[in-house]
Structure formats: C-alpha cells, structure tokens
Chain A
Amino acid sequence: SLASAARCRLRLYVAGLAASSTLAITNVTDICEQEMGGQCDLEVIDIYQQPELAQRDQILAIPTLVKTWPLPMRSVIGDLSQRQRVLTGLGILGRR
C-alpha cells in the first residue's frame, strides 16, 4: 500500500547486551519517534544469535544501522548518539 511504501525500514545490528548495542537500540527508537513521526519499521538483529547474518550482510562494526528502504540503501556505524550524523548518513531529513 502507499502508506507502507512511504514507511522507512531500518535494520540495526547489535551484539548481545554490550553498552553501545543497548544504547543504539534506545537511540534508534527515539529517532524513529522524534524524527520520523514513528513512520518506520525497525528490525534488530543480534549477531550473537544469528552469526551467519554478520557475513551475509557484510557486517564489521557493531553497532551498524542500515536503512533498507527507501532506496538507496545507506548505513552508519556507532551507538547512534550523534543524531545529526545518523540522519545525514542515512539520508533522512528528520523533523525540521
């Protein structure tokens, strides 16, 4: 549907309960709410639970946040605490 096409799709790769991973989960949830009006679908992948995805999706740094939709796919690394770098890196305008 049109609505779902407009929704942004994000995938966050974390590693267990490491500090930067848990912080990244909090930060991305806030970004979805505050910068994108909640219009985004977030998937969190723990590479300890699914190690094969680290290779399949070419993950090196943890955390890594990937915007899979809308195209072009973009990704950023780090605990997402520097919000402007997250928005710029993913090519998301955010709340103006």
Chain B
Amino acid sequence: PGLRKAATGIPGLDEITGGGLPAGRTTLVCGTAGSGKTLLSLQFLVYGASALGEPGVFISFEERPEDLVVNVASLGVDLAALVAEHQIYLDHVEAGLDQMEPTGSYDLEGLFVRLGYAIDQIGAKRVVLDTLEVLFQGLRDSTVVRGELRRLFRWLSDRGITAMVTAEAGATTLTRYGIEEYVSDCVLSLHQDLDSGISTRRLRVVKYRGSQHGSNECPFLIDANGVALFAITSLSLD
C-alpha cells in the first residue's frame, strides 16, 4: 500500500525519503545539541502550515516562544504572524518537576490535555515536541515517563497527527534515554563529523518503516534558509 507521506519542505529530505515523513505517524529526530534538530522541526511545521494548509503545534520543553520567533525570523519566517493567524500554536512547557519526589501514583495527563487543547485551537495536523529528554530529567522514575511516551505516540497516531519528536543523542545509544525503542516508524539522526579539520553535517535515515531505503547518509548545511540536504537527485529510492 502506498505509505502516505507528509512533505517537509526541507530541500533534499523529501527526495531521500520518497516524498516526506510517514503521515499520521511519529518521526524521531535525534542529534547532539546544536545539530539542527530544533531548526529542522520548525521548518517542518512552518512548511506544513504555510504551504500545505496543515496547522501545527510546537511544544517546546526548552526554548521560550520569543527565542523560537527569533530563531525562525532568521529564516525569513514571521512566526508571530503564523501564530496570530492560528496556523501555528506555541506551548512552552516548563518541566520544572526538578527531581520531585512523587507522593504516590501519577501520570502525565497534563501534557495530553495541553496537547489536545492546542490541537483543537487550530485544528492542527502536525505536532512537534522539541526535546523530550526534559521529561526524563524532571521525573525520577522513568518507568512512568516511558509508559506515558508510548501512550502519547499512540494518542497522536490515533488522531492522524504527523508528529516530530526531537531527542538528545546518546553517547552509545541513538538517544540518551532510548526513546528510539518507542518510535517504530521513522528515525532520523543528525550529526557532525570533524574529519581532517572540516566539519560536515550529516543526516542519516536510521529507520523508515514500509519504505525501502539504504540507511544512507546525506550531508547537509544550515544556511539562511535553514537546513538543506545535498540530496543527489539521481539517488532515487524506489
């Protein structure tokens, strides 16, 4: 069956993924700090909203809304206008749970209610959760967080939402807390190699269920328009 794809508008990425990310599914983008994860997720969201009429919700666990607006302004995108036009909805989560000692059983229903509320405000079709790691740092017992993440990805997919989740790269694992185990559809990894003094940024399609692709790596750069991949257009995937 043709796997429905959600175009990202990121030059080269739609080519090497054969049209974009798996629609109605969750894509995990992992990378070290400064690897371009947030920028890539913003481009995905803004493109969906401004070019495809798919409003998007950005849940930020780290950057404050005003930083995001500046971040995207450098790409020539007026995020504040998109927010005013209900094309984008920003929610900054201050996960100030700071190692709280739970006093009994709990869950993260607050996150689900906030997400549902934000999605309903603009009829969102896309969601970004930028850097889920913070949830793990905030809460001592990660079994609750892991269970809630599994529930969250199912919850998003049940609503046909195309979601992008970013996570910090782990030293030996793809992500620090092994979130990749819960994302079975699409995993992208951003990293920077320093060889012979030249640092090259690369994007690797680590996993893409239902679509044949070599786990190829593609160099990319970050310029005034954001992330752009050097996809050799002859590199066809089918």
Contact = CB atoms under 8 A, between A and B. Distances in A.
Interface of A: 13, 15, 18-20, 23-24, 27, 47-48, 51-52, 54-55, 58-65, 76-83, 85-86, 89
B106 A61 contact: yes
Q: How many interface residues does chain B have, given as a range?
A: 20 to 34
Contact of B117 (A23, A54, A79, A83): A54
Interface in B104-118: 104-111, 113-114, 116-118
Contact of A60 (B101, B102, B108, B118): B108
Given A60-B97, A60-B135, 12 more contacts: A18-B107, A51-B114, A60-B110, A61-B97, A61-B106, A62-B106, A62-B110, A76-B102, A77-B103, A79-B103, A80-B104, A89-B101
Contacts of A78: 102-106
Scoring B96, B97, B104, B107 by chain A CB atoms within 10 A of each residue's CB, the highest score goes to B104
A19 B94 CA distance: 26
A54 B106 contact: no
A47 B110 contact: yes
A86 B114 CA distance: 25
A15 B106 CA distance: 11
Contacts of B110: 13, 15, 47, 54, 59-62, 64
B139 interface: yes
A79 B116 CA distance: 23
A89 B103 contact: yes
Contacts of A79: 103-106
B185 interface: no
Given A78-B105, A79-B105, A15 B113 contact: yes
Contacts of B93: 58, 60
Contacts of A51: 113-114, 116-117
A83 B105 CA distance: 13
Given A58-B93, A58-B94, A77 B106 contact: yes
Interface of B: 91, 93-97, 100-111, 113-114, 116-118, 135, 138-139
A62 B100 CA distance: 13
B104 A82 contact: yes
Nearest to B117: A51
A79 B235 CA distance: 55
18 contacts: A15-B113, A19-B105, A20-B107, A54-B117, A58-B96, A60-B108, A61-B106, A62-B108, A76-B100, A77-B97, A77-B100, A77-B106, A78-B104, A78-B106, A79-B105, A81-B103, A81-B104, A82-B104
